Amino acid sequence: MDFDLSPEQQQIRQTLDQFAAREILPHRARWDREGIFPRRVIEQLGELGFLGIAFEPRWGGGGADTLSLLTATECLSRHDASVGLTYAAHVSLAGAHIALFAGDEQRIRYLPGLVSGKLIGAWCLTEPDTGSDAAAMRTRAVRSGDNWTINGAKMFITNGTVADVYVVNAATSAQGGRDGASAFIVERGVKGLRNGRRIEKLGLRASDTGEVIFEDVVVPAGALIGELNAGYRQTLKVLEGGRIGVAAFAVGIARAGLEEALAYVRQRTQFGQRIADFQGVQWMLADMATRVEAAWLLACRAARLKDRGRPVGRAASIAKLYASEAAMWVTTKAVQLHGGYGYMSEFPVERYMRDAKLAEIGEGTSEIQRLLISKSLLAEGYLPEEPAAI
Ligand SMILES: Cc1cc2nc3c(=O)[nH]c(=O)nc-3n(C[C@H](O)[C@H](O)[C@H](O)COP(=O)(O)OP(=O)(O)OC[C@H]3O[C@@H](n4cnc5c(N)ncnc54)[C@H](O)[C@@H]3O)c2cc1C
């Protein structure tokens, strides 16, 4: 496995660093404070080609590999985790679901808009009463003639109040669950679709999180994605890619915390010397860097497995679990190394710490990742995804 980024991937980083310096860094603290969703930034990412980076060229995409997508996700999240989350939900969840499972007619209708940033996508799985146990969803779609009628509510949906296109999971058989759910594409503006209350949150305050309510929403038969009752299986596949994306998102935040802490300890003095000269501080820095590196390598490994068509479920869960806990740990240490200033909002590290927490919750909590990893180990043993076999 090659650990270096290719020249193209280095170019992704460079372009996004320059873009962020102009369009994100000067505004991110205010966006966070005021809860402003920077829609224009998403459009600009579309204009630069980043929203379609890993989609096939025939849908307007760049045809790049998963590592390139991770590089973009990591980089955006390092500069602003809210933009990183918006990006990940749009590209790796809503966009990926359509790219992977929709028919050509649906792809032609939606992917060019999602890739250009003219349309924003949201992916709706979680409900007010079901999160970890997603198969217990209550949202229901019932067929009547040439249409489906959807009733139910989805909760904590990223881009939920700003999206133009929703990928919605709903039960389509009496028993619902794993073999009785299907995914649909629902467009904003359709009668009966509305957003519930605005949800205030701990971090990622410049990302949009909303409730999406469906009251007798009628969509044509052509809104069904792929096969009837295959929605849950599609969801599991989409989540494999999504979780690798969350790992990259977490690495970006962790790296931002490490870089900020490094800069701070070099200039802060106590007891007549730089705090960087204290061994206790140095060891903390070393542990932070070790976690950042390990998390990135696990994400890269999962990306490689995915691109080679190998089983990736366990590797994706391992990368997501480790990277999210690393991000929480590293950003907490970054606050610690700033002392009292770390607790103040004029320094960015408190925002990193608030933002990092989501990585341990979204797309399956750390407990659910541990459950999935151990289930796979007990069923298959360690070998199928052993690193040496890559
Ligand atoms: C900012 C944000 C953005 C989000 N974006 C989206 C989105 O775009 N689309 C979407 O569909 N969802 C989204 N979510 C929802 C997210 O995926 C869920 O919140 C998450 O899966 C957890 O579900 P829950 O909130 O219902 O928690 P619960 O499932 O109720 O979990 C509560 C606690 O119980 C634990 N627990 C549950 N089951 C078990 C078990 N079997 N063993 C051990 N512990 C267990 C959990 O780990 C957790 O600690 C988002 C959430 C947030 C916070």
Query: Is 380 an annotated catalytic residue?
Result: no
pLDDT of residue 4: 86
Ligand 1 center to 355 CA (angstroms): 16
Domains in the chain (CATH in brackets) are 7-120 (1.10.540.10), 123-229 (2.40.110.10), 232-385 (1.20.140.10)
Q: Is the CB of 363 under 6 A from ligand 1?
A: yes
pLDDT of residue 386: 54
What's the CA gap between 236 and 358, in Å, rounded?
A: 20
**Paired tokens of 256:** 């931002």
Among the atoms of ligand 1, which is closest to the Cα of residue 207? 1
The pick from 132, 205, 234, 321 for probing ligand 1's pocket by mutation, whose C-beta has the most ligand atoms within 8 angstroms, reads: 132
- What would the pLDDT profile of 110-166 be if each residue is shown by its tens digit? 999 999 999 999 999 999 999 999 999 999 999 999 999 999 999 999 999 999 999
What's the CA gap between 290 and 273, in Å, rounded?
A: 25
In the chain, % of residues over pLDDT 90: 94
Among the atoms of ligand 1, which is closest to the Cα of residue 364? 21
Q: Show the CA angle centred on residue 94, arms to residues 89 and 99, nearest 5°.
A: 130
Q: Which of 116, 38, 34 is nearest to 76 (CA)?
A: 38
Residue 389 predicted with pLDDT over 50: no
Query: What does each C-alpha distance from 182 to 3, 125, 127, 134 come to in angstroms?
Result: 39, 11, 15, 13
pLDDT of residue 175: 84
Q: Is the CB of 135 under 6 A from ligand 1?
A: no
- What would the pLDDT profile of 191-238 be if each residue is shown by its tens digit? 999 998 778 999 999 999 999 999 999 999 999 999 999 999 999 999
**Paired tokens of 175:** 């028993």
User: Catalytic: which of 363, 367, 380, 385?
Assistant: 363
- Protein residue whose Cα sits closest to atom 23 of ligand 1: 131
What's the CA gap between 41 and 24, in Å, rounded?
A: 8
The pick from 156, 162, 249 for probing ligand 1's pocket by mutation, whose C-beta has the most ligand atoms within 8 angstroms, reads: 156
Q: Is the CB of 358 under 6 A from ligand 1?
A: yes
Residue 97's pLDDT band (cuts 50, 70, 90): very high
Q: Is the CB of 123 under 6 A from ligand 1?
A: yes
Q: Are 80 and 45 in contact (CB under 8 A)?
A: no
pLDDT of residue 117: 97
**Parallel, antiparallel, or unpaired for β 224-225 and 181-187?**
antiparallel
Residue 32's pLDDT band (cuts 50, 70, 90): very high
- What would the pLDDT profile of 41-92 be if each residue is shown by its tens digit? 999 999 999 999 999 999 999 999 999 999 999 999 999 999 999 999 999 9
Among the atoms of ligand 1, which is closest to the Cα of residue 122? 8
pLDDT of residue 388: 42
Residue 390 predicted with pLDDT over 60: no
Residue 387 predicted with pLDDT over 80: no
**Paired tokens of 36:** 């402003």
Mean local confidence (pLDDT), 266-275: 98
